[in-house]
Amino acid sequence: MDDTQATTRPTPASPEQPHIVVRRARAADVRRIRELLQPYVDRRAIVPKPAVAYYESLQEFRLVELDGRLAGCGALHVMWDDVAEVRTLAVAEEAKGHGVGGLLLQTLLDEAREIGVRRVFCLTFEVRFFGRHGFHEIEGQAVEPTVYAELLQSYDEGVAEFLDLDRVKPNTLGNTRMLIDL
């Protein structure tokens, strides 16, 4: 999907079913993304980030809109030639139960396949949700020692979480490291 394309579900004949659009995020969406994420930040399910972090990773984000309103967001961050991470997957409270989370996750997994990534990682409190979509819990290292050594050079906190480094433990308390093989 390029920057101009969006995936839509046709507007239903029934007013009970919302019109759904999945698309790439745009710079003008960052404020709305941060507003959507704030309840997750408040309950410590997502680590707070400055606005600049969202602008820097904007190309990784996909959004779901229900009837023109932001209903969810998620990002796919490539960490190595065969590993990517689903990040910042969140659904607006009023959109829960409409399949937004599953649609976002499927979109991100499809994109991972499209770019040739074989495994996708997540760090989550939502173990049941990710488990229903084929993810399994991991312990120890999920990469070979030479790749581990390369990944240690990354400044990215998500990579540190994937590697289960002690320095990120305070931010990941209660989270579960999960992986899916595509």
Residue 9 in this model has a pLDDT that exceeds 70: no
Taking the CA atoms of the chain, what radius of gyration do you get in angstroms? Answer: 16
Q: What is the domain-level CATH number for residue 47?
A: 3.40.630.30
Better-predicted residue by pLDDT, 173 or 83 = 83
DSSP state of 21: E
Round to whole Å and give the CA distance between 7 and 24: 10
What confidence score (pLDDT) does residue 140 get? Answer: 78
pLDDT in tens, 126-154: 999 999 999 999 987 777 778 767 777 77
Nearest to 129 by CA among 106, 150, 156, 162: 106
Round to whole Å and give the CA distance between 55 and 137: 30
Q: With respect to residue 15, please indicate whether it lies within any of the assigned structural domains.
A: no
Q: Determine the structural domain holding residue 141 and report its residue range.
A: 20-181
Arithmetic mean of pLDDT over the chain: 86
What confidence score (pLDDT) does residue 152 get? Answer: 78
Q: With respect to residue 97, please indicate whether it lies within any of the assigned structural domains.
A: yes
Q: With respect to residue 57, please indicate whether it lies within any of the assigned structural domains.
A: yes
Q: Indicate the number of domains in the chain.
A: 1
DSSP character string of 22-71: EEE--GGGHHHHHHHHHHHHHTTSS----HHHHHHTGGGEEEEEETTEEE
DSSP state of 10: P
Mean pLDDT of 62-84: 94
DSSP state of 95: G
